Amino acid sequence: MPPSSDPLPDLRNFSRQQLTDWVTSLGQPAFRAKQIFTWLYRPGIIDFSQMTNLSKDLRGKLHDLALLTDLAIETSELSQDGTKKYAFALADDAIIESVLIPDGKRRTLCISSQVGCAMGCAFCLTATMGFKRNLTPAEIVGQVRAVQSDLGEEQRINNIVYMGMGEPLANLDNVITSLDILGDELGLAYSAKRITMSTCGLAPQINKLAGKVKVNLAVSLHAANDIIRDQLMPVNKKYPIAELLTACQEFPLDKRQKITFEYILLAGINDGVEDARALAKLLRPLSCKINLLPCNEAPEIPFRKPKEATVLAFQDILKWAGYTVLIRSSRGDDISAACGQLAAKKKS
């Protein structure tokens, strides 16, 4: 059964405020919640008995009334370029994956928010899994904790991106709780500047996210008109480009902050000169930067990677229009860890 069906609450599913509400409901003073929360994200804490500044009686009550789960690494694979893919077996035997991307001294962890995905994007292998369930906050944050433990404290994860399996904003409540935990000074203490939330374009959820937490926003766009985007991304039929960009315009940004638009280049589909010019015109009202991602090919996906000259010409048009444009190199494609390639399967 999924963890959410267990009758006992997992305390790692609670933000600090949620934990305070639960602790006080037991008749305990609020400061006990802070004491407990301080222990939850220390390395090596697996049992309430380790929380030595709590009374023996309270530790016993916690043992009887709550759970303290950990996410264990099932397998890991190392790419020739240094990218490392981690697989985690969940309590219901579902499998999720995270990807660690090193870049010099920087380490970025790409985490999952769902088992599978319901969005059905035509270029994404995760979509072939279908949607299984949402991840709990403990399972989302647990990916960061487990990978950090594998690295050791001397190699801290610098950046976290919600770009793994699933659509984060379709699991908004649990994702927001996970952000609270990641950003809490007694949790994992990540600055909002170090965390990026990706979405395929759930416009109303972008507005809800903005009202709850501070975070960087990355939007998977992949087309400059509704005709092409409808074919690539079913979500566009419900929230077309105009509605999506309105939500992006309303997303609050700090002075130097920009929204990132992700654009997968698919040979003969959306990679032409006119596509680039249309994209440059479309994004003009927004404070943004653009990441170009040449398609990661797979037998299950009916698209091909454009020629290098086509990619560079597309980038040049956007640069001439005044945009900051990066071509994201494919990392970890030899272990199916590149963008759009995560498609974990259940254990047999």
Give catalytic residue positions.
97, 339
The type of residue at 225 is N
Cα(141)–Cα(136) distance, integer angstroms: 9
Cα(56)–Cα(76) distance, integer angstroms: 38
Q: What share of the chain is helix, strand, coil (3-state, %, to 5)?
A: 40, 20, 45
Burial class (CB in 10 A: 0-12, 13-18, 19+), 309: exposed
Cα(70)–Cα(142) distance, integer angstroms: 7
Number of Cα atoms under 13 Å in the Cβ half of residue 64: 7
Cα(165)–Cα(174) distance, integer angstroms: 15
CB atoms under 10 Å from CB of 46, counted, come to 9
The type of residue at 315 is Q
Q: Are 315 and 325 in contact (CB under 8 A)?
A: yes
Cα(157)–Cα(348) distance, integer angstroms: 32
- The DSSP secondary-structure symbol of 135 reads P
Per-residue tokens: 125: 């292998």
